[in-house]
Amino acid sequence: MWGQQQAPIDFGKEIQPIFVTKCYACHGPAEAKGGLRFDRRSDALRGGENGPVIVPHGAAKSELLLRVSSKDASERMPPKGEALSPRELELLQKWLDAGANWPDEFADNTQWWSLKGLKEVPPPEVSAAGQVWANTPVDRFIWQELAKKNLQPAPEATRTTLIRRLSFDLLGLPPTPEQVQLFLNDPAPDAYEKLVERLLASPHYGERWARHWLDLVHYGDTHGYDKDKPRPNAWPYRDYVIRALNADKPYARFIQEQLAGDAMFPGTVDGIEALGFIAAGPWDFIGHAEVPESKIDGRIARHLDRDDMVATTMMTFNSLTVQCANCHHHKFDPISQQDYYQLQAVFAALDRADRPYDRDPQIARQRGELNAQLNTILRTIAEYENKMKAQSKGAWDQLQQQLQAKPHVEGNVRAEFGYHSKIEAKQESEKWVEIDLGSDITIDQIVLHPCFDDFNKIGAGFGFPVRFLVEVRTSNEKENEYRVVGDFSKTDLLNPGLQPVTIAVSAKQTRFIRVRATKLAPRQNDFIFAMAEVEAFSGSKLISSGKAVRALDSIEAPPRWQKKNLTDGVFAKAAVPTESVQKLRQRLQELAISILGEAGWQEYQQLQAKITETRQSLAKLPPPQMVYAGTVHQGNGAFRGTGPEGNPRPIYLLNRGDIRQPGKEVAPGAITQIQLANNPFPIAENQPESARRVALAKWLTATDNPLTWRSMANRVWMYHFGEGLVSTPNDFGKMGQLPTHPELLDWLACELRRTQSIKHLHRVLVLSSTYRQQVVANAAAERVDASNRLYWRMNRRKLEAEAVRDSILAMAGKLRQEMGGPAFQDFQVEKPQHSPHYQYHLANVADPNLHRRSIYRFLVRSQQQPLMTVLDCADPSMQVEKRSETQSPLQALALLNDRLILAMVQHFADRLKAERPTLRGQLQYAWELAFARTPTEMELQALENYTQQHGLENACRVLTNLNEFIFID
């Protein structure tokens, strides 16, 4: 239409993506062929060794357009990659003719503040007054900015305020009245410094700061999504974080262990348990376990799972929103789709699953040696058998089949009687059958008897699982708290025939014995699980006869197949070989000797015997522990992260993030624009899966990766001051906020990089005068800096939900101090076999197990604990880098009426009566426990009047609802 104007070309959305995908490979930050680069405006406009290639307002004269549109394949760029599309050529031509506008914001993406290298900034020189005020270098940076606005810092807080502030900041617990008095009465000039060191040395420090970290990685004890099944083995990762923080583990190693601890620190418990980081987030049980990867929904589920791994890793350690490049190049930050899928490729072989490990190094070594020995034996046997099959022209297989068809059963017992699962189309479908002994009994041996079925010449060992686990639990242990006593899930078992499988149990109390098949036995184009008998012995006494049996599913076709046959004492026993069987075995031996020779046949037989011996040795070892972690999954093939050859799945760059539109295959890598002196990418071919994670761990912890050190330094500051120097702690990109004190942030980041100590950062911050300021009003300062971004006073902060709950338990004298171990469950579960319903109102608040610190609470994603949710507890389905601080009537109502609170204020009142003889003494003690200070006479008199009218228990309820209890000055 006449007069219509075309929209201007948007460089960031339309031109820069062309440079990133089509030009950067040869002319980008990693390589600049011919001296030409397109990642920076100045370099692109200057051109390369042959002069400029961009002519503003002259597309026809621009070498750039001529080369990318050339019909001559030897001249056209890019030389090997995908040629520019007609639309891309049109955009490039219009951009050049319009003047090749390249806005300043895209001049050099590496010049964005967070991507610049760290500067070793010395603390600034300040006035004499500033020098007097400054306790640590932090104060000199703060004073400098205050002086620019003619602002003065607030006075130092009182000792009672400081000890309460410090105790909650470092431990998440209130100080006891005795600890307060000790600090108040300490005349030493370094009394405050000694207090800081005592708190940092407390084991409760790790519990407090682990909670911050678990928020960040969205740790939970259930999967989330539709079924939200429990993860009974998630807790070892939580305990690892507590342990690592208490030990002040070097921060670089802390990162490396969580991404690649199994490869970088082999043989260590931390190196395995730390991998719970990769698996901490939600997991779609239906999309992985019930939908195969051959279906679109299955591929989408796995794509989204890797997306969560990438997002969690990069936001946690680098404060970058890399996941925004899933469907297109990042619209604001220098992150291409190529970068995003390179990071997905790092995790291409991983899934979230239980991973076995041994805490005892000696047991771990023994198990490793035995498994390695078993794998070697199985490979050697396979080589022998392949050789015999190939050279006998089918005679070996024919003799084996004839042997299987011969009778192997003593007498005329119908030995096919037993348990038989439903038939499955997939071999990796999981099945289980369980015996209930009726009560807890000490057992020391479990024996599994295979079936014999002469139907269709199936023979001995019918339905015996190829891989399986034997598990036990007591009456007191919950449905999901089984302990493995026999692990046969790592390698395929040969058919045992009628040879029973014996598991030594080391005299453990047991009620339930479960056999869980993880890889089923083949039948005819389908798969099953069958077993004739399960026997349990206490000493020499058989205790399983006639006991109740239940199973995931069962073919009930009596009398042959039914669950109760598993404990009826009827099972097949190997018969004495008949003359015909002996002749077949003789022919088999002669055939083998003719191919392998006498020595080879002898070794083959010895290896067969060695298999049984090795498996028995493995069965005698204590069962391994389990941690829910990022791992190459060996269980259900429906969600295995590796291909048939055991290699990571290929990762493709997806057009618009659509799994149905795969582009080129992508190799593992990181953010291209962040250039490191010693870049660990690309990794060499034929490396194990773990090499990808090792490379990313090294990339993240490189001393010249500025984001890693800035990100953590900002987080530590935020948790102490209530607001980060960058107020968007998970986004250091262009959509995030700029740092208020960039030089201070760099100084802190350099300190963290130099010392590798998070506790060192704590000392620097909490010893500062900036941290010790009062929370005071100042009208003049508020007019200049209403948000206190210059830190002219301390910020008042609200206690997190966990700190409120733990404080109430502590005041009541009911807080249990034991650390670690499985989470306590403050709910009852309904329908655990399908979609569990977590019923918090059915919990017994008098149960001492519920009185542990909140860090050990079982975190449900779909149905969160009502009291904790009202108090702004983090949602474990989301990465929560910063807790919300809301104030609502619901919070007051919950603190007045929640069942746990009501129980604890009763205990609080009982404690006061037991420890103080008079009402006035009881009320003064209550005030000291609640607020870490002595009440004024007016406060004490008001509380006494209320107590006389409404009772001591109600007075305790009032104290837990006062602002002074909920907030920290």
Beta strands 467-473 and 501-519, pairing class: antiparallel
Rounded Cα distance between 180 and 162, Å, is 10
Q: Which of 337, 332, 278 is nearest to 115 (CA)?
A: 332
Phi, psi of 756 (to 5 degrees): 60, 20
- Take residue 917 and report the two structure tokens written for it: 């003889």
pLDDT at residue 700 tops 90: yes
pLDDT at residue 361 tops 60: yes
- Of 882 and 557, the one with more pLDDT: 882
pLDDT at 644: 47
pLDDT band at 104 (very low <50, low <70, confident <90, very high): low
pLDDT at 107: 56
pLDDT at residue 124 tops 90: yes
Q: What is the mean pLDDT of residues 343-348?
A: 96
Whole-number Cα distances in Å, 483 to 475, 514, 515 = 13, 10, 12
| Chain CA centroid to CA 449, Å | 39
Rounded Cα distance between 880 and 869, Å, is 14
Long-range (24+ apart) CB contacts under 8 A made by 140-143 are: 141/741, 141/743, 141/744, 141/747, 142/741, 142/744, 142/768, 142/770, 142/790, 142/791
The number of residues making up the chain comes to 969
The 10 Å Cβ neighbour count of residue 231 is 25
Rounded Cα distance between 384 and 236, Å, is 43
Q: DSSP labels for 197-240?
A: HHHHHSTHHHHHHHHHHHHHTT--SB--TTT--B-TT-HHHHHH
The 10 Å Cβ neighbour count of residue 921 is 12
pLDDT at 894: 93
pLDDT at 671: 93
Beta strands 451-453 and 459-462, pairing class: antiparallel
Rounded Cα distance between 116 and 732, Å, is 12
Q: What is the mean pLDDT of residues 793-802?
A: 96
pLDDT at 416: 47
As a whole number, the mean pLDDT across the chain is 89
Phi, psi of 344 (to 5 degrees): -60, -40
Q: What is the mean pLDDT of residues 42-46?
A: 80
Q: What percent of the chain has pLDDT over 70?
A: 93
Q: For 30, which DSSP code?
A: S
CA count, 13 A, side-chain hemisphere, 251:
27
Rounded Cα distance between 309 and 316, Å, is 11
pLDDT at 576: 53
- Token pair 């097949």 in the structure block, residue: 572
C-beta of residue 396 within 8 angstroms of C-beta of residue 402: no
pLDDT at residue 554 tops 70: yes
What is the three-class DSSP state of 483? strand
Q: What is the mean pLDDT of residues 765-788?
A: 95
Chain segment 364-388, per-residue pLDDT in tens: 889 888 888 888 888 888 888 888 8
Phi, psi of 383 (to 5 degrees): -65, -45
Rounded Cα distance between 783 and 170, Å, is 32
- Of 830 and 879, the one with more pLDDT: 879
C-beta of residue 590 within 8 angstroms of C-beta of residue 576: no
Q: Which of 739, 205, 679 is nearest to 749 (CA)?
A: 739
pLDDT at residue 547 tops 70: yes
pLDDT at residue 577 tops 80: no
- Take residue 280 and report the two structure tokens written for it: 């901490």
- Token pair 């040629």 in the structure block, residue: 83
Rounded Cα distance between 248 and 255, Å, is 13
Chain segment 279-338, per-residue pLDDT in tens: 999 999 888 888 888 889 989 999 999 999 999 999 999 999 999 999 988 888 888 899
DSSP bridge pairs for 837: 830
pLDDT at 640: 58
DSSP bridge pairs for 535: 447
pLDDT at 404: 61
Q: Which of 518, 432, 420 is nearest to 473 (CA)?
A: 432
C-beta of residue 458 within 8 angstroms of C-beta of residue 481: no
pLDDT at residue 243 tops 80: yes
What is the three-class DSSP state of 509? strand
| Chain CA centroid to CA 779, Å | 46
Q: What is the mean pLDDT of residues 464-474?
A: 91
pLDDT at residue 500 tops 80: yes
Task: Using the Cα atoms of residue 414, residue 420, residue 422 and residue 424 in order, give the sign of their dihedral.
Answer: negative
Rounded Cα distance between 430 and 424, Å, is 9
pLDDT at residue 962 tops 70: yes
pLDDT band at 621 (very low <50, low <70, confident <90, very high): confident
pLDDT at 1: 32
C-beta of residue 928 within 8 angstroms of C-beta of residue 943: no
- Take residue 562 and report the two structure tokens written for it: 């039914």
- Of 635 and 616, the one with more pLDDT: 616
pLDDT at residue 4 tops 50: no
pLDDT band at 143 (very low <50, low <70, confident <90, very high): very high
pLDDT at residue 636 tops 90: no
Rounded Cα distance between 849 and 862, Å, is 22
Rounded Cα distance between 805 and 866, Å, is 12
pLDDT at residue 257 tops 70: yes
Rounded Cα distance between 45 and 40, Å, is 9
Cis peptide before 917 (omega within 30 of 0): no
Task: Using the Cα atoms of residue 572, residue 576, residue 578 and residue 582 in order, give the sign of their dihedral.
Answer: positive
pLDDT at 641: 59
pLDDT at residue 525 tops 80: no
| Chain CA centroid to CA 783, Å | 45
Phi, psi of 728 (to 5 degrees): -115, 80
Rounded Cα distance between 172 and 82, Å, is 56
Rounded Cα distance between 802 and 855, Å, is 7
Phi, psi of 529 (to 5 degrees): -135, 120
pLDDT at residue 150 tops 90: yes
Chain segment 168-220, per-residue pLDDT in tens: 999 999 999 999 999 999 999 999 999 999 999 999 999 999 999 999 999 99
pLDDT at 600: 86
pLDDT at 580: 67
**Which of the residue ranges 484-493, 764-773, 841-850 would you say has the lowest mean pLDDT?**
484-493
